[in-house]
Amino acid sequence: MKKDFLTGRELREQDIYHLFDLTKTYKTSRRKKRFTSLLKNHTIGLIFNKPSTRTRVSFQLAVEELGGRALYLSGDTIQTSRGETVKDTASVLSRYLDGLVIRTYKQEEVEEYAQWCLFPVINALTDFLHPCQALADYFTIWELNGTLKDIKLLYIGDSNNVCNSLIIGADILGVKIMVASPENYQPRDEVLSLVKNRDIVVVDTDPLKFVPEADVIYTDTWISMGDEKEVEERKKIFQPYQVNKKLLAEAKKNFIFMHCLPAHRNWEVTDEVIDSKNSVVYQQAENRLHCQKSLLHFLYSG
Ligand code: CP
Ligand code: NVA
C-alpha cells in the first residue's frame, strides 16, 4: 500500500528515531557522494502554489541525490490555476509520475490529492501544517542534545502551521511544548484535537513565564503566506512577542534559538538574537535536505 505524509501523524515515535539515525547517515555521507539509487527511474512532481526556497530546493536535491528526477510544477502554470479539479489532475499525474510533493493553502487539498493519487503524496506546507519542517526541527534538537528526553520547547508568536506541526511532533515524541501567543492567535481545537497527551502542551499569553525553563526558543513570522492583508494589525499585536535580548534576559545560557525561516528580521526576531551563538537556524535549514531523504526512504522502501 502506498504511504503518504500529510499530517506527520503517519510516523510513530519509533519510526521517527529510525529516520533520525538514517538522516545522520545521509548527512555524513553526502560529501562523499555516496548516493543511493532508491529513486532510480522515479519522477517526483513538486507542485508549489506558494513561494519557497528551502523546501523546494531541498526536495529537488533530495530526490535527485537518491537517483530520481524532480519535476517542478509551479502552481500558476498548471491547469488547476484555471479550475481543473484535483481529482482530474491527480488521476492524470498518477499515469506519469511516481510521487507528489505539494505546497498549497488548504490542508484538505493535499488530502484530496492523496485520495486520488496512486503514489505517495507529501505535504510541503499548508495553512494548517508544515510536517517536513517539524521533522527536521526535532532532528536538529536531537542532533545537538543527543536526546529529546526532558527537552522543553518554547514557541513564541503566531500559532500557525509551523507551531501546529511542532505541537503534533511534541505529542508523538513526548517533548514538552510551551506556546506563548496573544489571545486569538493561540493553538486552535483543530490542532489540539489531534493531540493525544494534552499534558505536553501549555499555552499562555506571557512568554516571560516560560523563558527561564526553555531549552529551545522558537519563533516564526507574524505574517504567514496568505496573511498579507493583516500586516499592520498583526505588527501591532505581535510586537510584545518579538524575540529580543530583553525578552531573553532570564533565558538559560545554552538555550537554542530556532526559526524555520524565512525570517522578517527585526520583526519577530532581532538580528542580535538570530545571529547570536545560540542560533541554529542555518543548521536547521540544512537538515531539511537530510531529513527529507530519510522521509523519502521511509515512503519508498518496503
Ligand atoms: N522553512 C521553509 O519551509 O522555507 P521555504 O518557505 O523557503 O520553503
Ligand atoms: N508560517 C510560515 C512558514 C514559512 C515556511 C508561512 O506559512 O508562511
User: What's the CATH superfamily of 13-129+288-300?
Assistant: Aspartate/ornithine carbamoyltransferase (3.40.50.1370)
204 is a catalytic site residue: no
> Do the domains at 13-129+288-300 and 132-284 have one common CATH topology?
yes
The answer to whether the CB of 93 is under 6 A from ligand 2 is no
133 is a catalytic site residue: yes
Q: What is the pLDDT of residue 2?
A: 95
Q: Which residues have CB under 8 Å from 243's CB, separation 6+?
A: 156, 157, 217, 219, 257, 268, 269, 270, 273
Query: Residue with the nearest Cα to atom 2 of ligand 2?
Result: 224
Q: Which of 254, 45, 262, 40 is closest to 141 using CA atoms?
A: 254
CA-261 nearest atom, ligand 1: 1
Q: What is the pLDDT of residue 36?
A: 80
DSSP alpha helix (H) spans, 48-126: 54-65, 86-93, 107-116
pLDDT tens-digit map of 78-117: 999 999 999 999 999 999 999 999 999 999 999 999 999 9
Average pLDDT, the chain: 97
pLDDT tens-digit map of 134-152: 999 999 999 999 999 999 9
The answer to whether the CB of 160 is under 6 A from ligand 2 is yes
pLDDT tens-digit map of 14-47: 999 999 999 999 999 987 766 688 999 999 999 9
Whether 283 and 139 have beta carbons less than 8 Å apart is answered as no
Per-domain residue ranges for the chain? 13-129+288-300, 132-284
The matching CATH number, chosen from 3.40.50.620, 3.40.30.10, 3.40.50.1370, 3.30.930.10, for 132-284 is 3.40.50.1370
Average pLDDT over residues 49-72: 97
Q: What is the pLDDT of residue 35?
A: 66
The answer to whether the CB of 136 is under 6 A from ligand 2 is no
Query: Residue with the nearest Cα to atom 1 of ligand 2?
Result: 224
pLDDT tens-digit map of 175-221: 999 999 999 999 999 999 999 999 999 999 999 999 999 999 999 99
288 is a catalytic site residue: yes
Q: What is the pLDDT of residue 41?
A: 96
Q: Which ligand is nearest to the CA of 133?
A: 1
Give me the percent of the chain exceeding a pLDDT of 70: 99
Q: What is the pLDDT of residue 31?
A: 74
The answer to whether the CB of 126 is under 6 A from ligand 1 is no
